[in-house]
Every structure is written in C-alpha cells, then in structure tokens.
Structure 1
C-alpha cells in the first residue's frame, strides 16, 4: 500500500525523466510451476516461462540481464547474468532500483540494489521475418522510476506495431552515478547498465522473434538524456539502429573534475575523508540513501544545478562530451511546449539549473539570454520559465538535432503542443500518456477525449513507422521534412498536427550561440 501511494504521488508531480564479464557460475533456480500453455523461450542463460497478455501478446517479466550489483559488486560495472538449469518463471517484475525523493516527492521506501531486470512483450502469432525491436528507457531524473511502471506496459506497441517491446531497470542516484575509484566507469554505472541491457537484447532478442539488427531505443526525460549520452558513447555503438528522444538531449553531463567533487561531497556527508571511497561503498544501503538524500536536498547550488546525480565525462564510457562524438544514428527528437511548468514545485531544480547555466556561461552571456527572452516574451508567458524550459530541454534538443544532422544522420524534430494534455498544459511528461495510448497511470491528469485519443494514435503510429522503416512519416500527418539547421522545420503534435519552424526563435537562438555545451 505504501509503495502504491508513493508511485501515485510521484506520478502526480511528473517523471523526470560496460564491458560485461562472462561468469561461469551456474545456479539452480526453483522450477517453474505454471501451466503447459505458458510461452517458453530459451535465452543464453536458460529457459524462461512467461504469460499471455490480453491483446494477442506474450510477456516475460523480471529476467535478469546482469548479476545483482550487491556486496562486492556494488559500485562496479554489471557482470553477465549467471545461468540457471530449470525453467525459470518470468511472470512478475523484478525489483526497482533504489529510489530517491525529488523536491516535494518524498523519499520512497521501495527499491533494491538487486534491480537489473528486463521485460519483453512480443506478439503471439509467429512471423516468418524477425520483428523490429523497441527498447524503452525510463525517466525519473536519474533518481527514481522503473521500467515496470504501469504506464510503460508494452502490450499496445507489441500488438499495434507488430514488434517486440522491451523495458528494463538501471541503477539510479549515487548507486548508478557516483565517481568512486572502484574501477573505470564508476561515474556512469547507470549508463553501463543500459549498455548491458542493450547487449542482452542483441544476444537474446531473436528468441522472442525480434531482430537484433533492428533495435530502436526510446526514452523520456532522464531516459531520453541517457540516449543522448549513449549516442556519444563508443561502447554503445552498434547496439541500436535508431533513437527516439522525448524531452532529452545530450545532458546533463558533469565534467570529470566536477564528478569527483560530487563524490567528495558524498564522502563529507558520510563523515569520511576525501579518499575513503572503499569505506563509502561499504556503508549499509539505508545510510547511503540518507547521504544521497542530503545531497539532493541541497542541490540548488550552481555546482549541482538541481541534478546531483548525472552521467559524467570519465574518459571511459564518455571519453569526451557526447555532442562532440555523436554516432550517425537516425533519430526522432521532441520535447513539450512548456516543459518547465511541471517543475514549479521542484524548487531545487527550478533554482539550481539556471544558477549552473549562469556559472558556466558567464554573467555577460546570462544577461544577454535574459534580455533576449524578456524582449521576445509572448503574451501571458513568463520569459524566465521559458528560459528554464530551454535550459532543460529546448536547447539540448536543438543542439543534439543539429549535431546529428552535421554527421549526416537523418533527424526529425517535433514538439508536443497539446494544451489539453494536463491541467497545466503541454508541460514536461504530459506526453507520456499519448506515447503509450492511455490516461490511466499518466504522470498528470488528462481528459481522455476522442480528440486526445486521436492525437495519441498519430504519435504512436508515427513512432511505430519510425521503428519499422526509419521514417516517422504516416499518411495521416503533413509532409514532415528532416531537421535542417537552417530551415529548422518541426512537426507540432497537436489536435491538428502541422509543420512549423524554429521552436526557439531567432533572437533567443542568437543569445544561446556562444553558451558552451557544458552549460546545458
């Protein structure tokens, strides 16, 4: 009951958004005790028994894609899952990662370090040709969330799109993003988990009827930001063929120096010396949760920028800033029309992010930004909220689209403009209900009218078309040109979708021109 209350409250505020060592160990797992009609597949680790959905689909939940990162494996890169000898039941989701509160969202009580589990939905009917694969990476500000959230159910995509849908969990907060000296890549364990999950898909998805050469990654908020980073991560090359980025970009990313300072802050909160990494990682999980919460509570500084846990340039997973190392992957990039309104109650992010941008951009550039936003303010709009929104997703989306187009990747840009998506309009995370085709479980309340359902259908059909063909165009949408840094055309997903241009505005884009990529 407590877990249900926590999830409902989290949803009402809005979602934010490795080299694997093969283990020779074989474990004897409890035998499957289901029925003979349960769908059975065999993956590299052993046999799995799933269940059947209500829409002509099959589903396998809670499959371990890596060993539990507990004990000696805490703070280390994911290791390949051990095998099992008897058919393993895959009918219930695995544990969520250790969760953390965010602003007014209370510290959740759920979650476990043993969280590296993956879920698969596939059509019931066999196909002569391997099906496209869509892998969802959940959001939650890098501190909360799970692939098992009810809104992320993959049955609709599997049935409607005739594809294989995958979701998974990855390590969060300081368990997933803390630059300890345990080993290379420790600053990006959450990204290494995502890479491990994608490797698992490449190695095993054919058993579910999926095509390992036709994998699209899709994510929202922190999930989309993760994909922006994976596009610049050499380890992720070849693990996905396409990407759908919703309210993301290649941000937020700490420098290597700042990432280490964050770890030193955690050590100080624990009463440890600056080089006592081993002692920090040996603390009980509840003590680490307390320390990470303290860091989150004090994150409205220019240093932490309201986001104390994030990927980092580490010379290993991210050798340089992702925008400087992009793979030419066909990508669909979008964000919501007024992202910032969702964060009106999340004071640390609302205050901290602009402070950090100002500190990295310099006072002169920041003054130019605020002046440009004030001069071009629209009626009944707060120009500073517009500036926050563009710091958070608008400019990161544009810079990623421009960067991908510059390396000859096909890119399409869109914006979610449907003002009836929530009581506060088209704000951050309000597009999730439309992405998954259901109002139940949506982060913010939405009236699921025929108009809303039609818009959701347009979006899902477009995403499915992109997954299947590499082009988001459908017959029900206006002709959607590719992103071009000069024309800046994008599709407005609204009650009547239409093509528009330049969602930032010329004066505002000019003010952003010399702001360094590290700032956003």
Structure 2
C-alpha cells in the first residue's frame, strides 16, 4: 500500500517562536508535527503518538492493547505525559504524569520522503523500572548528526509495569509487553516517516539496557529489531530480575486492600488512585535501608510466558531458541568506568550508622559490615565465605583507595562482570558482530557534589553526549567545543553501528570487535580513544567464579556446588594465574 507524503507547510508558530507545523499522511491518519531548526539542519518532530490504549481501570495490570487509527489530524506537536512515577529525582516536563502514557516520539532529520529509507534507532529509557520517560531524551542530536530516525518510547513503570502480585488474573511484565507493542508499531508504521523497517536498532541505558537485553532473549521478537546497544545494564545481572516477587502485594496491602480474596484484592488495586499507589511505593522504597544500593524494587519476573528461564541460564544454553535469537543480533555492550558513583549521594544516609563523612572517604566498615553482607544475604544465600572473600578483594589501608574500592565493588557486581559474561557468550556467534566500550569521560552533571577523592565517569554520564542534557537535568548545561566534538564521535559510532553492524567509519579511530581470546574494548573519552583488552580481568574472574558456584548451569557445576566453597577460592586463585 502506498501513501503520499505531505506536503503541507503552515506558517502557524507553535510552542516556541520559529517552529512551523508540518503534516504528513500516514496509514493511521494525518499527523501534525513540528519542524525544528538545528545547527545541522531541520528536525521533523512528532511527539506523544499513541501506540497503546490507556491501560486504566480493568486494563490495569494487563497486556497493552494497540491504539489503532484516528479520524482527525493527530496533534503531535505537544509533549505527552510520562507514565506514573514518583516526582523524586525525575525530570518531567510540567510534572505531567498519567496512566494514559503509551506514547512514542519520532525525530526525523532533514526531510521526510518516500524515496529515503533511513535506519531507525529506538531508545528505551532507564530509571530502575521506576522513573523516566521517552520525552526526557530529545533524539534530535543523534538524528541530525547520524542521519537516522530516532524513536523514544514510554512504558509502564513501578507496580503499573511490573505488578509483582502473583495473581492468576494479572499479567506480569506488562512493561516489557508495552515495549514489544511499541516495536510492533514502529515496524508497521515507521516507513510513513521515511524509516527503514528492515533496519531497526534498539538501545537503552541502565534499566533500559536491561530491557534491551530481555527483548533479545524473547524469540517472538524476531524481525522487530536487528541490532542492539546495551549501555550500563545487562539482564544477566542479579539485580535485573527476580524469579518471583510479592512486592506489589505488600504495597497493595499497605494501600488498604484486603488480600484474603484475590479477586476482590485485585479489583481494589485496579481502582485505587494511581498517585496513591505511587506514594505507597515511595514509602516502601524509603525503608529499604542499605539495600537501596543493590536492589530494584520492581523488576521483571519469570512469568512462564515472556521469560521462562533466567538470562544467566539462557546465555549459556546455546541449543535454546532464546540463545539462537540472542546471538543473531549485532551487539554493542558498554559501561561507564565508575558506574557505582551513585554510592556517594545515596551513601550519605549511612554516615551516622557507620561513623564516616563521605567527603573524606568511605571506610572498610561500610563495605565489609554493611554493603557486602546484605548483597551476599540477598543474592548468595548468606555465604560467609563469599563475604570474607569479597571483603578481602575490595579493601585497602589507604583511605582514597578504599573509597574507590567501594565504587568499584558496586560497578563490578552490578555492571562490569555481568556485561563481560554476556559479551563472552555473544562473541561465540559467527552470524553477528560484538563490541564492547568503556566510557571514562569525567563529567559530573548528574553528580555535582562528588568528593575530591572520586574520579571517573559515573552511571549514565555518556547520555549527556548523546542527548540534549537540558532535558535530563535541572541545569541549563551546554557542551563545550571539545565536548561537542567528542559527542559527534560517539554519535557516529552509535549510528554507524545502527546502519551496518560495525561502529567504524571514515576518519574514525578503529574500534576492534570483541573476541573471546582478545576481549577488546574501546576506551571512550576526550583524551583516550584507544583499544584495550581484558577490562578488569581479575575482578571479572572473581565474580564469574562465584556465580558459577552459586548458580550452576550444568552437571559439572552442580558437582562443584556439592564439593563446597573452598573449591571456589581455589578456582579463583588458579584463574588469576591462567
């Protein structure tokens, strides 16, 4: 079926002086967007396009339903709402929140033409499955400099997206179902905006990275996307998924719903005020204590449908249909070098209990008597041997070194070790490409009060160079000339990969592919764009050895678990010298 592309320029100025309306004809109906001038050319922006019906009332906690078409010209000039979430720490336009939030935003560079088929990049935002929105990430910079179409999406968050109710009348993981419905919409409709539906890359950061990885492990998604970039969060991390969870039920009870009759309990939850549920979730989160550093309240769960086995199992089972789909996707996986920087703002809450001032440093006591025991209790069956080993490997007598060890501990556990494990699994594929990056540009926009002992790139820092930082922070930040040049280099890597599966291109410092033997990675900072090998090799081996013991995926590994943890210590020591 062919469609005519507009053609209609209006002189009406909307939202911001100088922006013109622009209407296109699509298979779903006419859509009116804005033409926004940038230093690299015009961007055609279409915002708050609905891909799903409002999941409210009886549809709360169920799969999303496709929105369908519209009769009148759809107004895509205004910024839509974010999905329900806490205001705390979230940057949201006009504090506009709604359950009716299943919208997406499209950024098209230069022109819209049926004769141009641009690669498409779909961004899935992070925020710990609890906060964030597609509209917070203006895709204009990537679209214009990379000559690609960028789409950002919303999905349900917190209890609305990941109910954790263990109720047969509830669909778990509806936040993932939202993402899948958005991808189906993009696959079916993006050609109306000049996009190439056969060349779609999904990318995401933090919980968005988790989501990208989960989507790669769901075979029914075949054809919805072809490449993936996972930034700062892989689904095989222990924090990314719970096998089961009743957090939603606990919050429901705290909200005044009686859970003696599950049908009545669910009816009560479905008609509670959405803001009230958010407030009760905030109350629950406020009582996490030190677990706030290593636990996500609402996560995907094993539901017997989308997710039947853990990612840790699936990436080791090369005969599974999940692995075969996973390995078919071209992949970049990367991290900031000091992801665990969030321990600084969050760690202030524990200064009195552990008798320290975080400006001076973080002591061994906080790590070995506080953080490690809770992580080992939550994820490693409270093994004192594992606690002792981790404390030994991440301590120093030097105050500055000890402080940085705490940051590295969280970085390695949550991010680096799982990322390398995933890369190793994917690199064995002969049908797709694999790349790793380590981002190390120390820009503290998200962490303005870091102490003098800290150095490195904290979690999410790379986003400042990919998107417009003014939409993500309360400060009116503008990149310097050097930072702008660096930003363009990153965008070229990202968009080259989206177009071809290879980040390299003319006049680019070569980015070597990741191979099991060499484990090459690209260092990304203004002063260092070199390739390295075996990033944090010894610490990755430490965590992978522990995980192989605690989460056996073969008969041999089960035998290892029966022999005991002394073997783990031996294996780790042996691996350090091999």
TM tier, shorter chain?
Answer: 0.7 to 0.9
User: Following TM superposition, by how much is the alpha carbon of 1:300 offset from its aligned partner in structure 2, in angstroms?
Assistant: 3.8
Q: Distance in 1 between matches of 2:545 and 2:31?
A: 52
- The C-alpha deviation readout for 1:129-182, integer Å capped at 9, x for no partner, is 411001111111111111111xx2122222222211111111111111113366
Q: Determine which of 456, 459, 464 is the counterpart of 1:433.
A: 464
Q: Do residues 306 (structure 1) and 295 (structure 2) align? A: yes
Q: Is the 8 A contact 2:336 2:462 kept in 1?
A: yes
Matches within 5 A, 1:212-251: 212-250=197-235, 251=237
Cα contact 1:421–1:430 (8 A) shared by 2: yes
Name 1:498's counterpart in structure 2. 530
Match of 1:39 in 2: 22
Structure 2 contact 412–539 (Cα < 8 Å) conserved: no
Asked which structure has the greater RCO (Cα within 8 Å, sep 6+), the reply is 1
Contact 2:209–2:234 under 8 Å retained in 1: yes
Match of 2:281 in 1: 292
Rate the CA distance shift 1:102–1:322 in 2: closer, same or farther, 3 A: farther
> Is residue 340–residue 388 contact of structure 1 (8 Å, CA) maintained in 2?
yes
Q: Deviation digits for residues 14-71 of structure 1, max 9, x if unmatched?
A: xxxxxxxxxxxxxxxxxx9966984333344322111111132211111100101112
Residues in 2 aligned to 1:337 and 1:380: alpha-carbon distance in whole angstroms: 17
Q: Highest Rg: 1 or 2?
A: 2
- 1:135-154 correspondence runs (5 A): 135-149=122-136, 152-154=137-139
Separation in 2 of the partners of 1:104 and 1:352?
26
Would the alpha carbon gap of residues 254 and 214 (structure 1) be closer, same or farther in structure 2, given more than 3 Å must change?
Answer: same
> Taking structure 1 as reference, are residues 418 and 254 closer, same or farther at Cα in structure 2, changes over 3 Å only?
closer
Change (3 A) 1:502 1:421: farther
The 1:452–1:105 alpha-carbon spacing in structure 2 relative to 1, beyond 3 Å, is: closer
Which residue pairs with 1:413 in the alignment? 436
Say which of 294, 314, 321 aligns to 2:310.
321
- Out of 496, 504, 521, which is 1:473 matched to? 504
List per-residue Cα deviations over 1:164-202 (Å, max 9, x = no partner). 111111111111111336667722111111111000000
How far off is 1:471 after superposition? 0.3
**What SS is found at the alignment partner of 1:84?**
coil
| Inter-CA distance 493–344: structure 2 relative to 1 (3 Å threshold) | same
Paired with 1:442 and 1:241, the residues of 2 have a C-alpha distance of 28
1:214 is displaced (CA, Å) by 0.3
Q: How does 1:117-136 map to 2 (within 5 A)?
A: 117-125=103-111, 126=113, 128-136=115-123
> For residues 228 and 105 of structure 1, what CA distance do their matches in structure 2 show?
25
Cα deviation, 1:442-493, whole Å, max 9, x if unaligned, reads 5497773333222212111111110111101134443322212332210110
Q: Is the 8 A contact 1:299 1:352 kept in 2?
A: no
Alignment of 1:3-22 (within 5 A): none
Deviations, residues 258-278 of structure 1 (Å, cap 9, x unaligned): x2x223322332242263233
Q: Which moved more, 1:506-515 or 1:349-358?
A: 349-358
Distance of aligned partners of 1:86 and 1:109 in 2 relative to their CA distance in 1, 3 Å threshold: closer
Residue 410 of structure 2 corresponds to residue 393 of structure 1: no
Structure 1 match to 2:573? none
Q: Specify the SS of the correspondent of 1:515.
A: helix
Unaligned runs of 5+ in 1: 1-31
1:10-159 alignment, distance < 5 Å? 38-54=21-37, 55-100=41-86, 110-125=96-111, 126=113, 128-149=115-136, 152-159=137-144
Q: Identify the residue that residue 210 of structure 1 maps to in structure 2.
A: 195
Q: Given that residues 293 and 346 in structure 2 are in contact (C-alpha distance below 8 angstroms), is that contact kept between their aligned partners in structure 1?
A: no
Farther-moved stretch of structure 1 (494-503 vs 352-361): 352-361
Name the SS for the 1:179 alignment partner.
coil
| Alpha-carbon contact 1:50-1:91 (below 8 Å) kept | yes
Question: How far, CA to CA, are the matches of 1:309 and 1:518 in structure 2?
Answer: 22
Please identify, of 397-406 and 463-472, the stretch whose mean Cα deviation from structure 2 is larger. 397-406
Alpha-carbon distance in structure 1 between the residues aligned to 2:140 and 2:529: 26
Residues 339 and 285 (structure 1), Cα distance of their counterparts in 2 relative to 1, 3 Å cut: same
Structure 1 CA distance, aligned partners of 2:496 and 2:206?
22
SS at 2:345 equivalent: coil
- Asked whether the equivalents of residues 133 and 467 of structure 1 are also in contact (C-alpha less than 8 Å), the reply is yes
> d(CA) in 1 for partners of 2:110 and 2:89?
43
Aligned to 2:492: 461
Verify: 1:355 aligned to 2:374, yes or no.
yes
Instruction: Choose which of 164, 167, 180 in structure 1 pairs with 2:165.
Output: 180
Q: Report the Cα distance in structure 1 between the residues aligned to 2:99 and 2:80, rounded to whole angstroms.
A: 11
Of 332-341 and 176-185, deviating more is 176-185
TM-score by length of 1: 0.84
Aligned length: 482
Give the 3 Å change call, closer, same or farther, for CA 282–43 of structure 1 in structure 2: same
Shift in CA distance, 434/220, structure 1 to aligned 2, threshold 3 Å: same
Partner residue, 1:201: 186
Deviation at 1:301, TM superposition (A): 6.8
Q: Which runs of 5+ in 2 are unaligned?
A: 1-7, 13-19, 315-321, 351-366, 451-455, 553-578
Q: Taking structure 2 as the reference length, what is the TM-score of the superposition? A: 0.76
SS of corresponding position for 2:83: coil
* Structure 1 residue 99: Cα displacement: 1.5
Distance in 2 separating the partners of 1:353 and 1:234: 36
Aligned mates of 2:414, 2:60 — CA distance in 1:
31
CA contact (8 A) 2:218 2:306 kept: yes
